[in-house]
Each structure stands twice: as C-alpha cells, then as structure tokens.
Structure 1
Amino acid sequence: MRDTAAHVALELAQHSKPLPSDENTGLKSTFARTSWLNRSLRGASQAGLVNNLNDGLTWGVFPLLFTDHGLGLAAVGLIKGLYPVLWGLGQVATGHLSDRIGRKPLIVYGMLVQAGGFVLALVLLERPLLAGIVSAVLLGLGTAMVYPALIASVSDHAHPAWRANALGTYRFWRDIGYAAGALVAGVLADALGLNATVIAAAVLTAASGLLAARWITEHRSDAR
C-alpha cells in the first residue's frame, strides 16, 4: 500500500478555501461538526447509520419472516446471499457513477430503493421466494448506490485538515447502525411482530432518504 499523506498535504496547500486560523481541527470539534453542526455531514452520518441499521435488521427479521412462510434453509440463504453480492459488486459501478452525476442523487434514491425493497417483501409475501429475491435485489442495489456515495460526500465536505477525523466520525455512526439494527429488530419483532418491523424499517429508511435530500448539498468544493 502507498500512504496518501503526501496527496493530502498537496491538496491542503492548494485548497481553494484556506483553513481559518481559529478553526479547531481536533477530534472533539470534528465529531460535533460531522455529527450535527454541518448540514451535509449530518445528512451523510444519519443516512449511513440508517443504511446499516436496516442491514442489521434484515439479518434478524428476514430469515424468520420467510421461514414462517414456508421457505427452507437453502432459499433463505439464497435471499440473504444475494444482498451482499449485489451490494459488493454494484458499488464498483456506482462509485464511478457518483463522480459523474454527483453524490446526492445516489444517496437519496438509494435509500428510497431500499425502502421499496422492504415494502415489496410484504406486498409479495404470498409468494415468499419471489418476495425474498425482489427485496434482496432492491436492498442490494440501493445499498450499492448509497455506500460509496456517502463516504465520498463526507470527503467532499470535509477540509483536508480535518477530513480524517470527519471520516472516522462518519464511520462511527455508520457502523454502529449494525448493532442498533439488531437491537431494534429484536425489540420491535417481539413487541409488534415481524411484519410491523419490516414496515418500520421501510418508513425509517425512506425518512432517512428524505432527510438526506434536505440536508446534503452537492458543492464538492465546499469544505465548510
């Protein structure tokens, strides 16, 4: 591997917006800026959290939902396997696409595509295998749209002087979503049932996409 510190130093020297002398680049300040104070970074952080939350939720809920409707272990494995395969392969193309059309469209529509996957999982549930495959495809494609665009958006809006801390903060919120999803899945499924949990995931994911549309800007040169 090659360290990119020299590239960051060059970017910092040539940056169109010099860092104000009174701006704090420490972790505490950057954590607050990325988590809430900066609208675009706030939008990316909440979308990353919800994206991984619904991923964790599917691992807890979908196997139970589809086995309750007659599918066996092999079919459930196919459904759950499709999602990471499409996500992993798809983000190679969507990452490139985000450099051409911008980050925000992929983030917003990717979250809405995921929400649609949850909805169709219930709408088509009388044919559980079809429901599972369709939902897995939409969740995988939606995540492939969102995942590289989110981290690129954080990089776009973070000044080189505090970008590393901003990316670390974003990944903190994004990755804590896995644990949150597992907890939410267990609590909601126990209290309201599996179908209601899937509906809740759809609503939360769509709401996150709408928040991203409201908060995230597309000005890649805007590092403030």
Structure 2
Amino acid sequence: MNPPVHPSLGLRANAAQFTLLVAVNALVGGMLGQERTVVPLLATQEFGLDSYSAALTFILAFGLAKAATNYLAGTWSERYGRKPVLVAGWLIAAPVPLLLIWAPWWWVVIAANVLLGISQGLTWSTTVIMKIDLVGPHRRGMAMGLNESAGYIAVAFTALLTGWIAAEAGLRPEPFLLGIAYAALGLGLSVLVVRETLGHAAGEAASSREPGDRSDRDVFLHTSVREPALSSASQAGLVNNLNDGLAWGLFPVLFVGAGLSVAEVGWLVALYPAVWGLGQLVTGALSDRWGRKRLITAGMLTQAAALAITAEAATFAAWAGSAVLLGAGTAMVYPTLLAAIGDVAHPAWRARAIGTYRLWRDSGFAVGAVLAGVLADAFGIREAIWAIAGLTAVSGLVVALRMYETLPPTIQRDA
C-alpha cells in the first residue's frame, strides 16, 4: 500500500490560498472596525449612558462571547474541518450591522456584540489556524504578521472611514452600511473560493516524531498553566487585549471630553490599529529571525509606556504620538505570540492550543471592560489608564522571567 500523499507546506506552494485568506481576514477586521469609533459615542450621545461601566457593557459582551468561541473554534476545526467553521462565523456576522442600525435600546447593541464576538471567534481563529496549516514551521511569524496586519489595517481603515461618515451623516445608519458589504463579501468568498486546510496539518503531524495524542483537558491545562512558554503567552495575550478593550471603550470618551471633534477622534482611534496593522508586516518576519521572547517582552513594556503617555496627554498631537507608540508595541506582541504557540504546540493539537490561547487573550476584552469601567467610575479615566499601564509592565516582566525562546535555532538560522 502506498503511503498517503499530503499537500505541500510552505508560503510559496500555497500562495493563492494564503493570499485569499489574508483578504478574508481583512473583511473580518472590517466587521470589528465598524464599531471602533461609532459605538462608544452611541452609548453616550444616543442612549444617554453616563456610567463608564454601563457604557462598556458592549465590550464585555463581545469579549466573553469571542473568548469562549475561540476555544470552541479550535476544537471544532479539528473535528469538522476549518472551512465549515469559517462559513458558520460569517453567517452569524451577517445580522450584526442591521442590529446596530435598528437598535432602539442599548440591550440590542449588547446582543449585536454577542453575535459579533461569536463570529469573530469563529472567523478570525479559523483564518489563523488555516494560515499556520499552510505555511509549515519555517515562516510562522511572517504568516501571522500578514494575517494580523490585514485584519488590523482593516480595523483602522474602517474606524477612520466610519468616523468620517458619522461626522458628515450622523452616527446611524450610514456608518454601518460598510458592515453589510463586508459580511456579504466575506461569506461569498468563504463559501465559493476558500479550500479546506486540515490535510496540511495532518501531513505535518505525520512527519513529527513527538506524540500527538492529548485530551482536550490536557491541552487546556498545558496551554494555560503548565507549559512555561504557552502559559506566558496566554497571560501576555490577555493583558494585550485588556489594553485594546480600554482603548476601544474609553479613549473616544476621553478625547471627546477634552474637546476634540468626532472627525479628530476618528483619526486617533484609527491611528493605533493602523500602526499595529502595518507594524506586523515587519515584526512577524523579524520574529522568525530574532526569536519570539525579546519582541514580546519589549512590546509589552512599550505598550505600558504608551498608556502612561496617554494618561498624561491633553492635546491631539500628544495623543497621536501615544497612539503610534501603543500600535508599535502591540505589533511587536500580536503575531509573535501566535507564532510562539505554533512553535510549541504539536500539529495534532495545535488548533486546540490556539483556541485556548485565544480564549485567554480575548478574555482581556471582558477583563478590560470591567476593570477600566470600575476604575474610571471610581477614580477617573486617566487614573484607570495609569493603573492598566502598570499591569502591562508587570505582564512584560513575567514573559522576561518565565518564557523561554520557542523558535528552534535551526529555523532561526535559515530565516
């Protein structure tokens, strides 16, 4: 009997599918970007929420839904295949912009964000897993840099565009018409053109000498607590997205309270993910050469410094500078953490490890919404930002002290 023939691994061998998945993930990012400028302002200006904690409930709902779905996406993609999970995510995303346009009560916005979180967990997780399947071990950092760059450049572009539309036409419905177009295009591409990549992971697993059988419980505990690199990455990912939840929910309110216009707020809200997105084109590939640990540690400390500057600033120019710094720090961390998970996890349980990591990472949205809201209500927005800057610095030190370098020396030499 002839041995099974597995698909070829590598970026060049799978260039067409990889490029398509980059485009699909840009549309996934656009679905998130439609909310970044407009929804925090809807909370205060249309729904009259005067408590920071209440206004951040939409991020709490999004974060909890996305975190839980990330874990399920990893398990389901190993059980049923990657493509069905991706398509299911787009079907769930379709009603979100319609609900945001129609919502007569704040709880409808929260419900829309539950759906958005579920859809993001399914679609974004699956595009990550599929790209890691395609490229194999030698270009994981570059692959994750391209994936996350596409997503967050789309977040930035859409945040900027919806801010401009809102300044010209109002907060609803026009800004959310973009989301309708993104959902239709993403669903069409995923159904008609995207191909299954589970066979690529099976081929890589077949060539591995390490045992690949682990229970779901063992993978969860291994990624969350036991394995030093995986658990260090999980806590850093949580704090990173805690920062993003803070920026998403409170930065627009801080900027408007300081007298900036909606258009200026749109520029600031877009600048941070734009630098984040573009920076990952460089940092992902650099992590294939320099290793993962140094970039993650430096990125967390850079984010802490950026948040401290944001807490003290009072002008558009100063906030623009801190947004650039925050984006740069996040770019160092974001693709590198995913690449580190891919380095350590066996191909047979890698999707579940990624799902577990993304569960912890995106729990940061929920933790950030609660922590930032409570601190801002009790002490003020600037004091809340200072506290989270300190927490971010501690997270970077945990990586420095506990994580080992995950990039194999042979790959580092060949990169």
The SS at the match of 1:185 is helix
Counterparts of 1:136-175 in structure 2, within 5 Å, are 136-175=323-362
Tell whether 2:274 aligns with 1:81. Answer: no
| Corresponding residue for residue 18 of structure 1 | 210
Give 1:208's match in structure 2, choosing from 390, 395, 412. 395
Relative CO higher for 1 or 2, CA cutoff 8 Å, sep ≥ 6?
A: 1
CA contact (8 A) 1:43 1:215 kept: yes
CA contact (8 A) 1:84 1:140 kept: yes
Tell whether 2:291 aligns with 1:99. Answer: no
Give 2:375's match in structure 1, choosing from 164, 173, 188. 188
- Change over 3 Å in CA distance of 1:90–1:62 after alignment to 2: same
Shift of 1:25: 1.0
Tell whether 2:345 aligns with 1:121. Answer: no
Shift of 1:142: 1.1
The Cα offsets for residues 82-136 of structure 1, whole Å up to 9 and x where unpaired, read as 011111222122111111111111111111111111111134x24x212210111
Residue range with higher mean Cα deviation, 2-11 or 86-95: 2-11
Q: For residues 18 and 36 of structure 1, what CA distance do their matches in structure 2 show? A: 21
1:110 alignment partner AA: G
CA contact (8 A) 2:292 2:407 kept: no
Normalised to the residue count of structure 2, the TM-score between the two structures is: 0.50
The Cα offsets for residues 175-211 of structure 1, whole Å up to 9 and x where unpaired, read as 1211221121111100111111010111111111111
Q: For residues 122 and 185 of structure 1, what CA distance do their matches in structure 2 show? A: 13
Q: For residues 85 and 96 of structure 1, what CA distance do their matches in structure 2 show? A: 18
- Unaligned stretches of 5+ in structure 2? 1-193, 410-415
Residue range with higher mean Cα deviation, 186-195 or 86-95: 86-95
- Change over 3 Å in CA distance of 1:187–1:131 after alignment to 2: same
2:319 alignment partner AA: G
| Corresponding residue for residue 386 of structure 2 | 199
- Unaligned stretches of 5+ in structure 1? none
The SS at the match of 1:10 is helix
Instruction: Tell me the number of residue pairs that the alignment of Structure 1 and Structure 2 aligns.
Output: 216
Moved over 4 A (4+): none
Shift of 1:3: 3.5
2:368 alignment partner AA: G
Q: For residues 331 and 271 of structure 2, what CA distance do their matches in structure 1 show? A: 12
Shift of 1:42: 0.6
- Change over 3 Å in CA distance of 1:207–1:183 after alignment to 2: same
Structure 1 vs Structure 2: percent identity of aligned residues?
52
Give 1:47's match in structure 2, choosing from 219, 232, 236. 236
1:8 alignment partner AA: A
The Cα offsets for residues 31-75 of structure 1, whole Å up to 9 and x where unpaired, read as 111011111111000111110111001122222222332222222
| Corresponding residue for residue 261 of structure 2 | 72
The alignment's C-alpha RMSD in Å is: 1.8
1:117 alignment partner AA: A
Structure of greater Rg: 2
CA contact (8 A) 2:238 2:362 kept: yes
Residue range with higher mean Cα deviation, 158-167 or 46-55: 158-167
CA contact (8 A) 1:122 1:131 kept: no
Q: For residues 406 and 248 of structure 2, what CA distance do their matches in structure 1 show? A: 36
Normalised to the residue count of structure 1, the TM-score between the two structures is: 0.89
Q: For residues 49 and 174 of structure 1, what CA distance do their matches in structure 2 show? A: 4
CA contact (8 A) 1:34 1:166 kept: yes
The Cα offsets for residues 138-171 of structure 1, whole Å up to 9 and x where unpaired, read as 1111111111000000111112222111011001
Shift of 1:221: 4.6
Q: For residues 275 and 392 of structure 2, what CA distance do their matches in structure 1 show? A: 19
| Corresponding residue for residue 31 of structure 1 | 220
| Corresponding residue for residue 9 of structure 1 | 202
